[in-house]
Amino acid sequence: MKLQMTPDIVPVEEFFRLLREKWVGVEIPEYKFRKFLSVKDRIFFDCVEGDQVGCLKKVMRHEGYPRFVAFILARWEDGTLRVLDVSFANLGKETLERFNDRYPRQLRPANAMALQLSGGEYLEYLGASYEE
């Protein structure tokens, strides 16, 4: 089955390539990422069907994920750049769409402070994903 790509949805390998161009030497735990990225929504997701837009909509609106994952870029005191994954329990019926909207406003400040206390610097929010 041929996947229909949109300019807004890219294979995660393209995201890795662009991230490495922008942040030379960045360490990326590639195995923690899903197969596709919605650039506009900053959502990493999988899709085995041919309709990636449909898959994205389902993933964003699903209420049953036990955990959400925020991917962030951090720099350490020695100059090391690293992508980190921070996991958050879904304590209610929150959707990935809602979590992704809420993270930068409500959860990012605590992550940035924790990184600072451990000798790191919060650089950039890369997007969100889910655990099944």
pLDDT recorded at residue 2: 35
Distance CA(73)–CA(97), nearest Å, equals 21
Model pLDDT for residues 23-64, shown as the tens digit of each residue:
999 999 999 999 999 999 999 999 988 889 999 999 999 999
CB atoms within 10 A of CB 42: 17
In this predicted structure, the answer to whether residue 119 has a pLDDT above a threshold of 70 is yes
Instruction: Report the pLDDT value the prediction gives residue 7, as an integer from 0 to 100.
Output: 67
Please report, for the chain, the start and end positions of each structural domain, with discontinuous segments joined by +: 9-131
1 CB-side CA count, 13 A:
9
Structural tokens at position 51 = 């309709």
pLDDT digits 0-9 by tens, 59-102: 999 999 999 999 999 999 999 999 999 999 998 889 999 999 99
The pair of three-digit structure tokens given for residue 27, joined into one six-digit string: 């360490």
- pLDDT for position 82: 97
pLDDT number for residue 4? 42
- Contact between 40 and 13 (Cβ < 8 Å): no
Give residue 49's pLDDT: 81
Is pLDDT of 3 > 80?
A: no
Q: Is 113 exposed, middle or buried (0-12, 13-18, 19+ CB in 10 A)?
A: exposed
11 or 50, which is more confident: 11
d(CA 31, CA 24): 19
